[in-house]
Amino acid sequence: MDALLLARWQFGITSVYHFLFVPLTLGLSVLVAIMETIYVRTGDETYKNMARFWGRLFLINFAMGVVTGIVQEFHFGMNWSEYSRFVGDIFGAPLAVEALAAFFLESTFLGLWLFGWDKLPKTLHAACIWLVAFGTNLSAFWILVANSFMQEPVGYVLRNGRAEMTDFFALLTNPHVLYQFPHTVLAGFVTAAFFVMGISAYHLLRQSQLEPFRRSFRLALIMGVISSLLVAAVGHFQGQYLVSAQPMKMAAAEALWESAAPAPLALAALVDERTQTNTFEIKIPALASFLAYNSFQGEVKGLKDLQAAAEASYGPGSYIPPVAPVFWSFRLMVVAGLWLILLSLYSLYLWRRRRLEEKPLVLKALLWSIPVPYLANTAGWLMAEIGRYPWIVYGLQRVEAAVSPGVSAAAILTTLVAFTLLYGVLAVADVYLLAKYARQGVETTPATRMLDNSGEVSLWI
């Protein structure tokens, strides 16, 4: 395998893995902050215990997000040095601001929150977790500003053999990020809401610690209903926007080879990328046009026409991304999203009629739906990033021009294998701890019990 392919796999694996931990951080920090705020305002200790319980799970998850995030920052220079040279003038700035404005904030105030329960006044302590929540969501904004430049370059000029920034404000108001940021953050809220609902459902099923988990469920339910509806709405407008901004990505997402007016929507398709056809399709007439333009008329460009247009502007070469992965990850995301909307609405209905706890099947569905937002998040990113191919910076730099020329395939293979193994082992430890603490529940407070073994501890096991 060549260095380029290995570098792409490495970036894909480490990024997808990193983003397993990020969304929960975005949403759960807000939920914990809300719980603690209620505690501060009412003095009700149950909310304090809830904040501590969910805060513990937050931390186990946060640690993984932090350490895998460091890899992301180093990656650009290590594996993608020519990319870094080409866009560093623009791309480096949001990364640096992210560290300066957001990472310092979240890490410092998380330390204060964690160790400051007895050292800070109540209100100040609650303010700390709000700052953590603000910091994590702010960091999402900056990294998405960087990502949006790769999707839709703005505020730059090509000079000195690279892209140079001409308008910082244009980067911040990139239309791409104005859709992507709310979509991502809301997806994080959905993830956290279903995480809290799922674990609460587990305790409601077992009839254990009903009070804190009813309250947790209620807060998460409100967040889940609102954010799962909003994330779909934003996603819809984002899709409409992408039809004009990144038509190739959307055509691949629909596996639409030929331009059509009006264009049908394929619910399922067997894509044959070699012959550039779908050997089998289930489609609904004109629905793709409707989704794109809110009207049953209107032409949606197909992959073949877009390829011809791209060749006309950028010269010979293939400009079509891998169609089947984009097509199927889009569908996976949408189906997962619809399932979450239905489940949260139905739960709301039962909750309002006080019948949720009589429905073990629904509670079980909620528990088993904890992974569903993760599937949707991953699928969404796969669609966004694979759909960008063959460009690393849309229209400006192709992936093969971006990889580090001095790093051998053997070196990348070594690190790829090592990261994958390490990440695999850590995932097991992480899930083990999350499950252990989730099961224990709210009431058992001491997080750390000392081992009574003075003089017996040895480093070498």
Partner 1 sequence: MDLTVLWFILVAVLFAGFFFLEGFDYGVGILLPFLGKSDGERRAIINSIGPFWDGNEVWMLTAGGAMFAAFPHWYATLFSGFYLALFLILVALILRGVAFEFRSKDERRTWRNFWDWMLFLGSLLPALLWGVAMANLIRGVPIDARMQYAGSFFDLLSPYTLLGGLTSLLLFTLQGALFLALKTGDELPQRARQAGLKIGTGTVAALLLLLIMSYRETDIFTRMVPGIAAWGALVALLLAWWLLSSRSYGGAFILNGLAILLGTAALFGGLFPRVMVSSLNPQWSLTIYQASSSPYTLKVMTIVAFTLVPVVLLYQGWTYWVFRQRVKARDLEY
- Interactions with partner 1, residue window 387-416 (CB under 8 A): 404-407, 411, 414-415
Question: Which is closer to partner 1, CB of 87 or CB of 340?
Answer: 87
Under the binding rule (CB under 8 A), the answer on residue 352 touching partner 1 is no
- Give me the 311-350 binding string for partner 1, x by CB under 8 A, dash otherwise: ----------------------------------------
Where does 292-423 show beta strands of DSSP type E?
391-393, 397-398
Phi, then psi, of 285 in degrees rounded to 5: -60, 140
How far apart are the two ends of the chain, measured CA to CA in Å?
A: 40
| Residue (of 184, 140, 137) closest to 30 by Cα position | 137
For residue 402, give the DSSP letter: T
Q: How far is the CB of 55 from partner 1 (least distance, A)?
A: 11
Is the Cβ–Cβ distance between 204 and 363 less than 8 Å? Answer: yes
**Residue 26 burial (CB count, 10 A):** 23
Helices (H) and strands (E) counted in the chain, each on its own, are: 15, 6
- Give me the 46-75 binding string for partner 1, x by CB under 8 A, dash otherwise: -------------xx-xxx-xxx-xx-xx-
Q: From its phi and psi, is residue 255 left (phi > 0), alpha (psi between -120 and 50) or beta? A: left
Options 165, 210, 245, 375; binder of partner 1; rule CB under 8 A = 165
Options 267, 342, 422, 431; binder of partner 1; rule CB under 8 A = 422
Q: How far is the CB of 60 from partner 1 (least distance, A)?
A: 6
* 397-398 and 391-393 beta bridge pairing: antiparallel
Counted residue by residue, the chain has a size of 461
Question: Which is closer to partner 1, CB of 103 or CB of 213?
Answer: 103
Q: How far is the CB of 148 from partner 1 (least distance, A)?
A: 17
Sites for partner 1 among residues 121-160 (CB under 8 A): 159-160
Under the binding rule (CB under 8 A), the answer on residue 85 touching partner 1 is yes
- Distance (Å, whole) CA 317 – CA 300: 22
**Residue 401 burial (CB count, 10 A):** 16
Question: Which is closer to partner 1, CB of 103 or CB of 179?
Answer: 103
- Give me the 88-127 binding string for partner 1, x by CB under 8 A, dash otherwise: xxxxxx-xxxxxxx-xxx-xxxxxx-xxxxxxx-------
Question: Which is closer to partner 1, CB of 168 or CB of 237?
Answer: 168
Under the binding rule (CB under 8 A), the answer on residue 25 touching partner 1 is no
Q: How far is the CB of 98 from partner 1 (least distance, A)?
A: 7
Indicate the helix (H) or strand (E) that contains 278. strand 277-284
